[in-house]
Chain A
Amino acid sequence: MNETVYTPTSSFAEELAAIPGGEAVNKCIQCGICTASCAVARYSDEYRPRQLIQKILLGEREEVLKSTLPWLCMTCRLCEERCQEGVSPAEIFHAVRILAAREGHVPQSFRHVVSALIRDGWLLNDSYTDFEEDDREDLGLNTELGWNNEFLKRIKKLIPLEESE
């Protein structure tokens, strides 16, 4: 097998390649099919999956980790179906998020949701009012939803999240 690497690589790319999901980053040949198939790229002026991968390959570590762009990926994996090189931008940006989170860069909207999750164990506790209860009752569904709100508190230490400023 030909092991020649055609693309630039960097210590940042190697660092990501060590995180599950990030392994394939060095296989990217920068063809741009991912950007062409991405619905987010279509409507956003800034989000370009190929370009973000290029920044990783070029070693723009701080810029990428502090950016909100990797958090815009919807993980719809259309790009992954289309990429001919076996690269999944969704998985690579997932690895970027894990690394960014370890270093304290988590977008505010994610922080809010995660705090609520730790408190309630599920996402919509605050939205479950008498109205929704009545609808459930009319449909013959149970109204006590029975979510577990202990487990998340027990594993809280696994979740890297500084208190929001």
Chain B
Amino acid sequence: MREILLYTGCTTPVRLPAYEAATIAVLEKLGVKAREMTDVTCCGAQYIESISPTAFAAMSGRILAVAEKEGLDILAICGACSGSLKITKHELDHDKQLRDEINDILADEGLKYTGKVRVRHLLQVLAEDIGYETIERAIVKPYTGLKVSAHYGCHVTRPFDIVQVDDPENPTILDRLAEIAGAEAVDYAGKTRCCGGPMLAMDESLATKIGQEKVNNIADVGADVILTACEFCDIQLTQVQFDDNFDASRRIPVMPITQFLGPALGIDEERLGFSLNRIDPQEVLAALQGGQA
């Protein structure tokens, strides 16, 4: 079985462990073993990134170097982490002075960045490394009569020149995966807009308004579930639906793509953590052919 190193980022293990478990289970089903990285730090996104380019490159660069030592590619399941690692890789590959500086820091631990490691976001592993056909063949229990809306995550698809995931103006990977699993993918206004998550640090009420606009646009087209490819987006788009200003009758379940694909691939429900979802996904699961997994 092919192996890849899973860099979970800080948030998923604590706030959305079902995403982590579902990702490991789904990839295993599709022939990829995701082994979790240890002895690494936060990637540095947003906070360190905003105040020190060198410390940021050292943090993400060290993660790249640890993977290089293991001789495996990195799988990132968070938009911010995949962005940090890819941007840093790009900088280290193009700026020799920065690379030397970072390697000096890493040398104390016997680590070195040479550029061999690749960073793959989950959507790339699913769509390119595994491929739609393989996934389609593995579907044993398709959804029927279910409408889904996809939210891609800004840092997953932008800037395209560096991240190379999907078309940033018209992304389709999540939509295609949902359709392979038997669902109908529906577009909505502002599909490529931000969930508001990065605003939480500075202004929570502003962040909430941005997220609610997104959910309301999705509710308007009648989607039964929102699919995500980043835990930050997933948590944010869930959280904003519990705000006092949000009409509770309009709540829509939010699911990371691997948790959504899991039951259609015949994976045991215990491994997918549905009971941890804040918005009950029972109606989504009821749309599986032959009833719930």
Contacts and interface: CB of A to CB of B under 8 A. Distances in A.
Task: Kindly name the residue among A88, A132, A148, A151 whose own CB sees the greatest number of chain B CB atoms within 10 A.
Answer: A151
A80 interface: yes
A7 interface: no
Given A77-B159, A135-B276, A141-B20, A117 B58 contact: no
Nearest to A106: B51
A136 B13 contact: yes
B222 interface: no
Contact of B105 (A94, A141, A155): A155
A5 interface: no
Contact of A75 (B13, B41, B155, B196): B155
Task: Provide the main secondary structure of the chain B interface.
Answer: helix
Contact of A98 (B14, B42, B50, B154): B50
A114 B13 contact: no
Interface size class for chain A? 35 or more
Nearest to B207: A74
Contacts of A106: 51
A75 B202 contact: no
B273 interface: yes
B292 interface: no
Interface of B: 10-11, 13-15, 17-18, 20-21, 24, 36, 38-42, 46-55, 58-59, 62, 105, 108, 154-155, 158-159, 168-169, 190, 192-194, 196-199, 201-203, 206, 209-210, 213, 270-271, 273, 276
23 contacts: A40-B199, A42-B210, A44-B203, A72-B206, A75-B198, A77-B154, A77-B158, A94-B50, A98-B50, A113-B47, A114-B51, A121-B41, A121-B42, A124-B10, A135-B273, A139-B270, A141-B24, A145-B13, A145-B38, A146-B39, A148-B41, A149-B41, A158-B54
